[in-house]
Structure 1
Amino acid sequence: MSQASTTTDHDTIRKWAEMRNGRPARVKTTEPGGILRIDFGEPEESLEEIDWDEFFRVFEDRKLAFLYQDKTDSGETSRFNKFVDRQASE
């Protein structure tokens, strides 16, 4: 598997998502703030799009880190990403 990286840098996260036509979103049926996701392509019904300010407010409040992959093993652009606990990723 291609190497994954972890970051808390807002600009890195936003650029990574936007380069893949991703939008900040959260799961609709979760507690206030919601579970964060990056939504790609056609909007998923279970997600609601939010703006980047709200996205990063929740990201910081929950002390998350962004685990992501730039390229797949075959060299194609990867959309693999996951939100993880910041302390667990150190």
Structure 2
Amino acid sequence: MDYGLLFIGVALLLVSYLVAVKKQTWLLAGFNEKMIKNKELLGKVVGGFFFLPLGLVVVISSLIEYSYQKTVLVIIMLILLVSVYLFINRKLLD
């Protein structure tokens, strides 16, 4: 069991809850708030489709040891990040 990954996974799940449910979009850095059409949808997409799956994968990965663990986590993170990025740029930006 990797306690560092477990802590990171729990932190990601907490951020997911704050962004998706509590609509705390100020936690998201790197976007221009004036260009976003629907901040509520932004919170749902980023919290529910990026932070939540990534947090769950990191928590599960912290409990199971396997080879190429870090590579798998980076690939999953990049796939989630690119898909959410493309959705935001196509649907939520003016």
TM range (shorter): under 0.3
TM normalised by structure 1 equals 0.26
Q: Which has the higher contact order (CA 8 A, sep 6+)?
A: 2
Structure of higher CA gyration radius: 2
More helix by share: 2
TM normalised by structure 2 equals 0.26
More strand by share: 1
